[in-house]
Amino acid sequence: MSVQELSSVPLAAPPPTPVRSDVAYPVSPIVAAASQEFTAKSALEQSQSLSRARAFADPLIGTEVLSTGENALAHADAVAAILGHIGGSDAMQAAAYLVYTCDHLNKPGEVIGKAFGQDYAQLALETTKLVQLQKQARQAQSRSQAAGPADASQAEAVRRMLLAFSRDLRVVMLRLASRLQTLRFHAAQKLQPSPAIARESLEVFAPLANRLGIWQIKWEMEDLSFRFLEPETYKAVAKLLDEKRVEREAYIESLRHRVADGLAALGLKAVVHGRPKHIYSIVRKMRGKSLDFDQVLDILALRVVVPEVANCYTALDWVHREFTPLPSEFDDYIARPKVNGYQSLHTVVRDAVGRPVEIQIRTQAMHDHAEHGVAAHWAYKEAGSAGYTGVSADSEYDTKIAILRQLLAWERDLSSARMASLGADGLFDDRIYVFTPDAAIIDLPKGASPVDFAYALHTDLGHRCRGAKVDGTLVTLNTPLQNGQTIEVISTKEGGPSRDWLNPELGFLTSPRAKSKVRAWFNAQVAHENVAKGRDAVERLLQREGKTSTRLEDLAAQLGFKTADSLFEVVGKDEYSLRNIETLLRPQADDAADEVLLRKPKADDQKSGVLVVGMDSLLTQLARCCKPAPPDEIRGFVTRGKGVSIHRGNCPNFRELVSRSPERVIDVQWATGSANLPAFYPVDIAVEAVDRQGLLRDISEVFSKESMNVIGVQTSTVKGIAWMTFTVEVTHSGRLAHVLSVVGRIAGVRHARRQ
């Protein structure tokens, strides 16, 4: 059968191939670590917990049928058995029953906690939550589109959920065992599961089992998932394997003895055994390399395990002398390890009759790594004999960190593959993953600092952060973090952030969220100062006017503000004129008090530069509150005794005047012709900046270079923030946009705008 034929085989019902459910799997060290983490109880207590858990679950789920059609208690029995086969403790097996009781209890956390302890209750609740999230994700995907080719977004969603729950490995182990049993049930009952479940098992759960080093679950889950997704292809390859199974197994056994005897004659203590080839891996190789079945060279395969690295090359030399090697099929992963640290010698040779045989040669340490992943030897590779900051290299903490790193690497590998298929950069190239002291995973942008880490945990912790330890060593707060590091924040009981953290050149903050939290804190401090300043100004005004009995909330409401603090804040920021309050307190006051002549006319025929539509020789004055200048949109307001005051169309004071006396609004326009226009118009520019030495000089130089005369400056500084108001003379307000842009680029300037 060719790869083209494999790709074109139509889907059909799965063949009645029996599923082996009595296979005893080798115990993974990762599973053992998860079992040890689950409980510190004695073996007797755990054994009792298992029988008690089943008795507790029996009346609740004994007659329940899961959505797959399987009896819930039978499913829990099978899950517990799978966990037992791979080395799971009795306590973990007990949790397999408790998970399915949660839906039948009003307060499952309390009930299970009282009966078995909070550890069991937390595990049951977390696993149930993950099951529900996965079910919702599958339902949403099914509603959006019919199941078809691999859905990367669905796989990524489930992968992220598993990663989020990986802080408790027991949850992951329970989900793996449960999914394997679901596939076994469908195979035994000759039922077709939903394509979403089969695809999720192949793309998410099997790679996860691979990362955790539980190879037998990986192979069985891959084969079953592939059997459901492409039953005819599965059946065709299985038939090809079965046709010569007896002959192939007999040949492998004889070849194993020949190699073992030959290496023993050299004095090598080698363990030689056959390596089974699974259907899914055969099909994947056929499609990946465009091979026919007869061209797959590792259908026949041996694995040789020797004590030392030097023995690997000695064994390789003997193999190449005894058989005919294929040079194009030789790989030295000892000299050039794979990215994940995998090491081994791979060679393909032909026997006397030309049959290809793949032989892998490795040390016991390399074999342990290949079987159980990087976590199997991460401790001695990174920590050494001294251990991690005083913790022994084989401690539970190091094991958990190693496992979590493996899950993160799995996350990045799959995401990179997805993005590569889309022709884009890796999804996680700009992200790093670090750990809290209790091994919780924190996702941060690349280049993040300990301050970013603190804000990711909690905003208040970020505000109070004063130091940090990275992998047990004190570091500065602007130290860039790296993948896999463990961070501990040192904080004070109270306090706030430093203004330096917002300086991008110092490298304290990278995360947009952390930056926004720091800015919000300082803005809140400035707002508090502005409220206090505005309250003082308003209260002094009320004293001058003899209106101290006026309720401040009522005054703010009459002026259009929701609260008194809102009024005080804009007054404190000089964004609201006290004239508005005076006008409200003295309705008959002269509205022209806020108006000034731009420049005193030298002759009777000189104008202010403004024409009143439909009238001649009417006195006009530019309002001081908004300082209009051509070509601003302007409006006129008739004052009592002092002509027409000219305001910008968006002036808040003008809107206040109009709301009280709309009949006094008059149309005005800028006069045309240079003879009628005054030479200069004053405008106010407000600047907010981080205070520093030379700031006023740098801003003034901009006005000087732009030929703008500064006729007034007001400055104030509140907790490191400078607030400046420059009054400059312009002939045309259109030039302001350019000037404001230049000022905004000055170091430290946060905002520059026209008032």
Question: Does residue 57 sit in the same domain as residue 171?
Answer: yes
Contact criterion met (CB below 8 Å) for 535 and 566: no
- Report the DSSP pairing between strands 356-363 and 301-306: parallel
Among 197, 230, 263, identify where a domain stops.
230
164 part of a folded domain = yes
27 part of a folded domain = yes
Q: What is the pLDDT of residue 183?
A: 93
DSSP letters spanning 145-211: S---S--HHHHHHHHHHHHHHTTSHHHHHHHHHHHHHHHHHHHHTT----HHHHHHIIIIIHHHHHH
Read off the pLDDT of residues 519-539 as tens digits, 9 standing for 90 and up: 888 888 888 888 888 888 888
Question: Does residue 50 sit in the same domain as residue 71?
Answer: yes
Count structural domains, the chain: 4
Among 491, 510, 529, identify where a domain stops.
510
d(CA 493, CA 301): 64
Question: Does residue 167 sit in the same domain as residue 62?
Answer: yes
Q: What is the pLDDT of residue 613?
A: 63
Q: What is the pLDDT of residue 306?
A: 94
Q: Domain containing 446 — which CATH number?
A: 3.10.20.30
309 part of a folded domain = no
613 part of a folded domain = no
Residue length of the chain: 755
Contact criterion met (CB below 8 Å) for 428 and 445: no
d(CA 745, CA 599): 33
- pTM (two decimals): 0.46
Q: What is the pLDDT of residue 46?
A: 55
d(CA 500, CA 462): 14
**Is the C-alpha dihedral spanning 185, 191, 194, 195 positive or negative?**
positive
Which residues, given as ranges, of the chain have pLDDT below 70?
1-47, 87, 133-169, 211-213, 242-245, 275-277, 288-299, 339-341, 370-431, 438-441, 484, 587-609, 613-617, 641, 672-679
Q: Domain containing 706 — which CATH number?
A: 3.30.70.260
d(CA 463, CA 491): 9
Q: What is the pLDDT of residue 441?
A: 65
Question: Does residue 414 sit in the same domain as residue 493?
Answer: no
From residue 3, alpha-carbon distances to 239, 285, 296, 298 in Å are 16, 9, 11, 16
Strands (DSSP E) contained in 641-720 are: 644-648, 665-666, 668-670, 681-690, 709-718
**Three-class secondary structure of residue 710 per DSSP:** strand
Among 230, 247, 265, identify where a domain stops.
230
Closest CA to 214 of 161, 168, 173, 167: 173
Q: What is the pLDDT of residue 601?
A: 40
Burial of 29 (0-12, 13-18, 19+ CB in 10 A): buried
Structure tokens at 569: 């804040």
Q: What is the pLDDT of residue 186?
A: 92
Contact criterion met (CB below 8 Å) for 88 and 104: no
d(CA 346, CA 358): 7
122 part of a folded domain = yes
Question: Does residue 383 sit in the same domain as residue 487?
Answer: no
Structure tokens at 167: 């802080």
Contact criterion met (CB below 8 Å) for 734 and 742: no
Q: What is the pLDDT of residue 346?
A: 92
Q: What is the pLDDT of residue 179?
A: 92
Question: Does residue 693 sit in the same domain as residue 716?
Answer: yes
Half-sphere exposure (CA, 13 Å, Cβ side) for 220? 24
Strands (DSSP E) contained in 200-335 are: 271-274, 301-306, 324-325, 331-332
d(CA 703, CA 307): 79
Q: What is the pLDDT of residue 375?
A: 34
Distance in Å from the first CA to the final CA of the chain: 79
306 part of a folded domain = no
396 part of a folded domain = yes
Question: Does residue 381 sit in the same domain as residue 503?
Answer: no
Q: Domain containing 211 — which CATH number?
A: 1.10.3210.10
Closest CA to 637 of 615, 617, 618, 661: 661
Question: Does residue 169 sit in the same domain as residue 105?
Answer: yes
Question: Does residue 382 sit in the same domain as residue 506?
Answer: no
Residue numbers of the domain that contains 382: 377-421
Q: What is the pLDDT of residue 443?
A: 77
318 part of a folded domain = no
Question: Does residue 467 sit in the same domain as residue 409?
Answer: no
Question: Does residue 413 sit in the same domain as residue 437?
Answer: no
Question: Does residue 435 sit in the same domain as residue 393?
Answer: no
